[in-house]
Amino acid sequence: MTVSKYELEEAWSKVYTEFPFKGYVREGRKSGYQDMVKKIIEWTDENSTVLDFGAGPCDKTAMFSLAGMKVTAFDTLQDAWHKLDDNRQKILQFAEQMDIDYVLPTESNPLPFMAGQYDVLMSHDVVEHLHSSPRVLLNTLLQCLKPEGILAITVPNAANLRKRIHLMMGKTNYNKFNYFYWYPGMWNGHVREYVYQDLFLLNEYLGLELLELSTYHLQLDVLPAYARKPYQAFTTLFPGVRDSWMLIARKPKNWTPKYAPDAKQFNDAFGGQYFDYSSTDFNWEE
C-alpha cells in the first residue's frame, strides 16, 4: 500500500492544527512524522488494524488513523506531564476526535489485548525509556500480532551526528542533567538509545523476518532552520548519522515467543563477565 503526498499533507495539517498541546508538534518534525507513515504503510494495507503501544498523546498515532488505518492506542498515561491539570482528558479527547480507540491498563488486566488481534504492532520512541530489557515485553506483545503481521519500532539513534559532535566538545549525549536531577518521581527519560547493530540483534533474538532497518529525520527542529537542508544533504550520503532508526519486521506464521537464550546467545552475553553465570537458573520470563 502507498499513501499519497496529498493524504500525508492533509494528515499533518490536521494534527498540527488540532493537537491540544501547542508547541509539542513542531513544524521541523513534519518530514519525520510523514516518513513514519510512509515506511510502515508500504508493508501493509489501508484496512490494517494497528496497535500503537506507548502512544502517549497520540500525535504520531493520529497520522496513521488519518491515513485510513484502524488504530488502537495504548499507554499508561503516567508521565509527570500527563498528570498535570486536565492533560490526560485532553489526550483522550484528541484520540476520540482522531477516531482512535484509546485503551488504558487496569490492575487486573495490564495488557488488555487478544492473541492474533492486530495486523500491525508499532511502538514509537518507547523502548529507549525502558529500565529493563525489552525481551519480555516484546515477546508478550508479539503474541497479539497476527501471523505474518508487521512489527514497527522507532528509536533515537545513539550515534547521530549531533550527539557525536556534542561528545567531541565534551558535552553529554544524555538528557540535560538539570532536567534529570529535578525530574519528579521515577526517571521516565531515555535509559538506553540504540544503534544499527542493537536493532539487528533485536530482530534476530525475536525470531522475526527483517523487512527494513533504516534511518530517518524526526528531530530536525533541534537545528536552526538555515542548517536543516545542508544537514539533510550530508546525511543522504551518510544515512547512519540521522537522528532516528526504524525497524520493520514480519512475524512468521510459525512464530513462538522465545524468552530464554540458546547456548550460543547465553555465552555471547555472559561469557565475558566477571562472574560465571553458567549454572544460574534465571527466570527468563520476569
Tens of pLDDT along the chain (286 residues) come to: 788 999 999 999 999 999 999 999 999 999 999 999 999 999 998 789 999 999 999 999 999 999 999 999 999 999 989 999 999 999 999 999 999 999 999 989 999 999 999 999 999 999 999 999 999 999 999 999 999 999 999 999 999 998 999 999 999 989 899 999 999 888 989 999 999 999 999 999 999 999 999 999 999 998 899 999 999 999 999 999 999 999 999 999 999 999 999 999 999 998 888 888 888 889 999 8
pTM equals: 0.94
Distance CA 55, CA 47 (A): 20
What sign has the CA pseudo-torsion 188, 192, 195, 196? Answer: negative
What spatial distance separates the first Cα and last Cα of the chain, rounded to whole Å? 38
Q: What residues does each domain of the chain span?
A: 5-261
CATH homologous superfamily of 5-261: Vaccinia Virus protein VP39 (3.40.50.150)
- Compute φ and ψ for 107, nearest 5 degrees: -60, -35
Give the per-residue pLDDT at 47: 83
3-state secondary structure of 49: strand
156: left (phi over 0), alpha (psi -120 to 50) or beta: beta
Instruction: Say if CB 133 and CB 71 are below 8 A apart.
Output: no
Nearest to 161 by CA among 228, 108, 210: 228
For Cα atoms 231, 235, 239, give the angle at the middle one, nearest 5 degrees.
Answer: 155
Number of helices (H) and strands (E) in the chain: give both, helices first: 10, 7
Distance CA 163, CA 94 (A): 33
68: left (phi over 0), alpha (psi -120 to 50) or beta: left
Give the per-residue pLDDT at 201: 98
C-alpha cell at 57: 498523546
Distance CA 162, CA 217 (A): 12
56: left (phi over 0), alpha (psi -120 to 50) or beta: left
